[in-house]
Amino acid sequence: MSTSPSLTTTQESKEDADYNKLCEDHNHLIETIPKRNGWKEQHLYNYNGFWLNPHIIKNNLVVHTYFKSQSTDIFLASFMKSGTTWLKALMFSTLNRHLYSFSDHFLLHHGPHSTFPLLDFETHPITDFTQLPAPRLFATHFPRTLLPPLITSCKIVYLCREPKDVLISKWHFMCKLRPKDMPPLSLEEAFELFCAGISDYGPFWEHVLSYWRASLENPEKILFLKYEEVKKQPEVVVRKLAAFMGKPFTAEEVEKGVVEKIVELCSFGNLSNLEVNKNGVEKFGKVAAELGVDNRQFFRKGETGDWKIYLSEEMSQRIDGITHDKLKDSGLIIDPWY
Ligand code: A3P
């Protein structure tokens, strides 16, 4: 039976009214919550304990209101610049290994961010994801406390990285995206802001802890990974990912070297040298909030310990001290990974 036109119109106007209300709430919120200097926009706003730009706060409201998760969905959650690009490639190629040959793989022609959507850039009207086959993959940088409750019961892979490396990676990335009409962001300013927790999706430590604590309570639902462990033992991590996503490697696949092939396909050396990642542009979101970022910005050095070139002894000790204080009773160890 088809829906009558009047019913459709009523439904549409209800949706419009809901969305208008969301925008009003958002405007009111932005006027009332604390703001501080942003890294690539004028201000970041403290929304429920985390520093976000106004677009992302609005998108968070949109996701809460319109995104319908399915129990089989799998999320990749990470703090920005923790290696999301790499994990996206690894998760996508592991889960979909039956769909592509390694000689003509999707990832040879598309940037890793094209593999599955970043929920944070979903605006109204939200994309229809219902046609995607299960399990659907989504990425997010939202801390766990800002996710809609239904998502928190889905499987989540969380990727964490050493904070000094995150700071340096983020500073480089944000300097590239920062509009030319803003004064340059010095490393000293970025450092002070980072230490105070003020950077997109920060504070870093609270972000990591939001997933770490949940992973202790529910290890079957949250796979907590560290960038440094992926660097050290990528094959072990790929096997973990496959099992976690419900698609463990068969003995035959292992015998044929499928794990090693995935690792090689997604390696920094391979991906960063592909034409699509040297000269392609990644589009995030759609319509007004669409953001285009050159793929090459997601591939800088891909190393651990690059902070040593940039941070003084005093700066590194200050971040280590914060990390120690914030994590001390959590059981999470970040420092001696390499
Ligand atoms: P650096 O700036 O330290 O080089 P994100 O994907 O979350 O934005 O993180 C980007 C960081 O991951 C960058 O770190 C980038 O170089 C690194 N990276 C991207 N692809 C990688 C890969 N295949 N292997 C290792 N590191 C990778």
**Burial of residue 1, with CB atoms counted within 10 A of its CB: 0-12 exposed, 13-18 middle, 19 or more buried:** exposed
239 close to ligand 1 (CB < 6 Angstrom): no
26, 113, 124, 141: the catalytic one is: 141
Phi, psi of 144 (to 5 degrees): -60, -35
Q: Residue 281: which of 267, 292, 273, 270 has the closest Cα?
A: 292
d(CA 225, CA 227): 7
Torsion angle of alpha carbons 111, 114, 120, 123, nearest 10°?
130
> How many CA atoms lie within 13 Å of 197's alpha carbon, on the beta-carbon side?
15
Which residue's structure tokens are 């994309």?
Answer: 127
The domain limits of the chain are 16-327
Instruction: Report the nearest atom of ligand 1 relative to the CA of 173.
Output: 2
266 close to ligand 1 (CB < 6 Angstrom): yes
- Contacts of residue 327, defined as CB under 8 A and 6 or more positions apart, other chains included, come to 205, 208, 209, 333, 334
pLDDT score recorded for residue 15: 80
34 Cα–ligand 1 center, Å = 31
Pocket test for ligand 1, best of 107, 299, 304, 309 (most atoms within 8 A of CB): 299
At residue 204, the 3 state secondary structure works out as helix
Q: 98 catalytic, yes or no?
A: no
Residue-wise pLDDT tens digits, 78-102: 999 999 999 999 999 999 999 999 9
Pocket test for ligand 1, best of 300, 303, 306, 311 (most atoms within 8 A of CB): 300
Pocket test for ligand 1, best of 142, 164, 232, 298 (most atoms within 8 A of CB): 298
d(CA 73, CA 180): 39
**Burial of residue 306, with CB atoms counted within 10 A of its CB: 0-12 exposed, 13-18 middle, 19 or more buried:** middle
pLDDT score recorded for residue 338: 44
Residue-wise pLDDT tens digits, 119-135: 999 999 999 999 999 99
Q: Regarding beta strands 222-226 and 155-160, do their DSSP bridges make them parallel or antiparallel, or are they unpaired? A: parallel
Instruction: Report the nearest atom of ligand 1 relative to the CA of 159.
Output: 7
Instruction: Report the nearest atom of ligand 1 relative to the CA of 169.
Output: 2
Q: Which segments in the chain show pLDDT lower than 70?
A: 1-8, 285-290, 335-338
Q: Residue 158: which of 201, 96, 103, 187 has the closest Cα?
A: 201
Tell me: domain 16-327, CATH 3.40.50.720, correct? Answer: no
Instruction: Report the nearest atom of ligand 1 relative to the CA of 165.
Output: 3
Residue with CA closest to ligand 1 atom 19 = 299
